[in-house]
């Protein structure tokens, strides 16, 4: 693959190499791109213009911190990064995501951010129990808790408040959506929905990392339009959009993932997500 007269140089920023990264490396090589793997744990990331060179970069760091900070470095050199620091920061912070989506009228579960037990109790009395308590950042369902009554909410908030780190002093509280034993993960690449799955579980947390079972799902127009609207709001070229099905309100956007895993999507749908991402990344370089 050539950009003008030269090979397209693709930098992939990564820490842990999962199946997804191996699939992506192969996809770039199959396209004939020049691949530069940047393992951020051992590679200094310059924060000045000209510090790094590539036509385009794909961000695949598992660590949120490494993803955002290393993206700043690539952007300092004028390299387009998929996804940009704006998209990464937006999707990392659940309150920021909720705020931007709300401004555009995108349906979501009702959510609050609180900084004290007192405020959490007020929220719960408005939403009614059970309520879901989440850290403002994180995924795989980690540290996500269900408070079924005031006693449980007190316990969760008091425990969180005593954890070290500023991130445990703010809490994202969300209404509990009575979804039908599943949610939907939509994979967006560029301006297309390339695949979608149901994540089914008897547990209320349906992440595949928490045991949710993936099943292929063919998205209809409504899901496609909603997912692409989300993309318009948060930006980004590769996104995992998580949807709930509410019996009364229809589809609700729960979260947006800016460095999505896709091994289960690819496995159950048969869609070559890695190649779709690689093709899009190379196209971005050619623009």
Q: Which stretch binds other proteins (CB under 8 A): 70-78, 94-102, 173-181, 260-268?
A: 260-268
Is residue 230 a contact partner of residue 108, using CB atoms and an 8 Å limit?
no
Residue 269 in the binding site for other proteins (CB under 8 A): no
Question: Cβ of residue 65: shortest distance to other proteins, in angstroms?
Answer: 6
Contact set for other proteins, span 24-83 (CB under 8 A): 25, 37, 39, 41-42, 62-65, 67
Nearest partner of 134 among 171, 184, 167, 97, judged by Cα = 171
Contact with other proteins (CB under 8 A): which of 73, 109, 130, 141? 141
Residues 94-133, one symbol each (x = binds other proteins by CB under 8 A, - = not), give: ----------------------------------------
To which residue do tokens 């310059």 refer?
A: 46
CA distance 201 to 247: 17
Residue 153: Cβ-neighbour burial (10 angstroms; 0-12, 13-18, 19+): buried
- Pick 51 or 138: Cβ nearer other proteins: 138
Peptide bond into 130 cis (omega under 30): yes
Residue 21 in the binding site for other proteins (CB under 8 A): yes
Contact with other proteins (CB under 8 A): which of 8, 196, 261, 269? 261
- Pick 112 or 206: Cβ nearer other proteins: 206
- Pick 124 or 136: Cβ nearer other proteins: 136
Number of residues that bind other proteins (CB under 8 A): 36
User: Residue 257 is encoded by which pair of tokens?
Assistant: 């993932």
What 3-state DSSP class applies to 29?
helix
Nearest partner of 209 among 266, 142, 255, judged by Cα = 142
Q: Which stretch binds other proteins (CB under 8 A): 94-102, 176-184, 245-253, 256-264?
A: 256-264
Strand 131-134's sheet: what is its strand order? 111-114, 171-175, 131-134, 145-147
- Pick 28 or 112: Cβ nearer other proteins: 28
Contact with other proteins (CB under 8 A): which of 125, 142, 220, 250? 142
Question: Cβ of residue 45: shortest distance to other proteins, in angstroms?
Answer: 15
Distances (CA, A) of 162 to 112, 146, 156, 157, 166: 20, 18, 10, 9, 10
Say how many Å lie between the first and final Cα of the chain, rounded.
13
Residue 160 in the binding site for other proteins (CB under 8 A): no
User: Residue 168 is encoded by which pair of tokens?
Assistant: 């445990």
CA distance 262 to 279: 16
Contact set for other proteins, span 161-220 (CB under 8 A): 185, 207-209
Q: Which residues bind other proteins (CB under 8 A)?
A: 14-18, 21-22, 25, 37, 39, 41-42, 62-65, 67, 138-142, 185, 207-209, 240, 257-265
């Amino acid at each position: 693959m050539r950009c003008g007269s030269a090979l397209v140089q693709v930098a992939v920023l990564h820490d842990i190499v999962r199946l997804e990264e191996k699939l992506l490396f192969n996809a770039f090589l199959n396209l004939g791109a020049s691949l530069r793997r940047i393992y951020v744990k051992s590679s200094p990331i310059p924060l000045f213009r000209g510090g790094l060179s590539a036509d385009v970069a794909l961000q695949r760091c598992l660590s949120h911190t490494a993803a955002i900070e290393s993206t700043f470095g690539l952007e300092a050199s004028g390299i387009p990064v998929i996804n940009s620091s704006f998209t990464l920061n937006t999707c990392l912070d659940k309150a920021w995501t909720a705020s931007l989506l709300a401004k555009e009228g995108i349906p979501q579960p009702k959510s609050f951010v609180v900084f004290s037990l007192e405020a959490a109790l007020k929220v719960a009395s408005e939403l009614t129990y059970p309520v879901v308590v989440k850290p403002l950042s994180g995924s795989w369902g980690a540290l996500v808790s269900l408070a079924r009554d005031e006693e449980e909410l007190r316990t969760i908030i008091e425990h969180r408040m005593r954890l070290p780190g500023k991130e445990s002093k703010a809490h994202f509280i969300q209404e509990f959506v009575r979804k039908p034993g599943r949610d939907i993960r939509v994979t967006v690449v560029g301006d297309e929905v390339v695949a979608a799955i149901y994540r089914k579980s008897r547990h209320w947390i349906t992440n595949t990392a928490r045991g949710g079972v993936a099943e292929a799902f063919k998205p209809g127009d409504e899901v496609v339009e909603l997912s692409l609207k989300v993309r318009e709001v948060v930006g980004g070229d590769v996104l995992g959009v998580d949807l709930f099905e509410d019996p009364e309100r229809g589809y609700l956007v729960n979260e947006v993932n800016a460095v999505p895993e896709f091994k289960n999507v690819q496995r159950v749908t048969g869609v070559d997500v890695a190649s779709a991402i690689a093709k899009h990344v190379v196209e971005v370089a050619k623009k």
